[in-house]
Structure 1
Amino acid sequence: MRFTVDRLDHIVITCRDVEVTSSWYQRVLGMEREEYGRNNRGALRFGGQKINVRPYGAEGWGTSDVEMTGVQDLCFIAALAPADVIEHLNQCGVAIIEGPVERIGALGPMRSVYCRDPDGNLIEIGSYAF
């Protein structure tokens, strides 16, 4: 038997302000906010995945030996053309760093637009339909 993983279930990002970060992901990327577990931890749900939002300095919620914010490089797929992604980001007041540019994603060629979240994480919004 060969061991393989099936999919990514969730990731955890460390942020300076859970409310600011969660609001940005909800407003800009359309994610749904939820609370879960002990101490009402925050999460952002989209499709069959979620992002747990960990406040910087959270006691009892260690994720690495070195705690930092703004070090993630995350790629999300949108069912929109890159021009529509750019228009949406502009309407949200989000600065575009780069794009649209051609990239290779998990399913092949795509076009991507890049921005940053409130903590400085690099956010790539890719589209396979271009």
Structure 2
Amino acid sequence: MLRVNAFDHVVLNVRDVEIAADWYSRVLGMERRDAPPAEGGAARTSMMFGRNKINLRPISATQEEWFTGLSPQAGSDDLCFLTDLPPAQVADHFRANGIEIALGPVIKQGARGDIVSVYVRDPDGNLIEVASYP
């Protein structure tokens, strides 16, 4: 029986790769990596963090340039990231960067139990949860 054991990467559909890359770098501390176009495809911008990566797919890319889901739409994702910072410091960081807090800190259910989360929105409107385990 097939059993997956981890995510390798996630692809976010974005209106503007430069704006999204700046936000994920500046606000969440991710490292930007650019790759040249693959044969017949488009250039790739990825945001690296830990052992994970997010590819930023421009919503204007065609299926030929970037094979993707049937109905790509910017701003339709909910993502949860983990941090070692206490929730109050996460909230302070967002405020210091001019990011409006949508909710939190609040207790939610994570993959391993209760987490304390702070929710914001990225430039495309995706719901971004930054959480820590108590």
Q: Same fold (TM over 0.5)?
A: yes
TM-score by length of structure 2 reads 0.91
Alpha-carbon distance in 1 for matches of 2:117, 2:94? 13
Alpha-carbon distance in 1 for matches of 2:84, 2:118? 13
Alpha-carbon distance in 2 for matches of 1:46, 1:37? 20
Alpha-carbon distance in 2 for matches of 1:124, 1:6? 22
| TM-fit CA distance, 1:67 | 2.2
Cα deviation, 1:85-104, whole Å, max 9, x if unaligned, reads: 00000111100000011111
Alpha-carbon distance in 2 for matches of 1:5, 1:37? 29
Cα deviation, 1:12-50, whole Å, max 9, x if unaligned, reads: 001000000000000000000001241431000000010
Give the counterpart letter for 2:59 in structure 1. Y
Give the counterpart letter for 2:55 in structure 1. N
| TM-fit CA distance, 1:54 | 0.4
> What does residue range 12-31 of structure 1 map to in structure 2 within 5 Å?
12-31=11-30
Which structure 2 segments of 5+ residues have no match? none
**Regions of 4+ moved over 4 Å:** none
Alignment coverage as a number of residue pairs: 128
SS at match of 1:14: strand
SS at match of 2:6: coil
Q: State, as a whole percentage, how many aligned pairs show the same letter.
A: 47
Give the counterpart letter for 2:11 in structure 1. V
SS at match of 1:110: strand
RMSD: 1.1
Q: For residue 118 of structure 2, what is the aligned residue in structure 1? A: 113
TM-score by length of structure 1 reads 0.94
Alpha-carbon distance in 1 for matches of 2:121, 2:67? 24
State yes or no: 1:42 paired with 2:41.
Answer: no
| TM-fit CA distance, 1:65 | 1.2
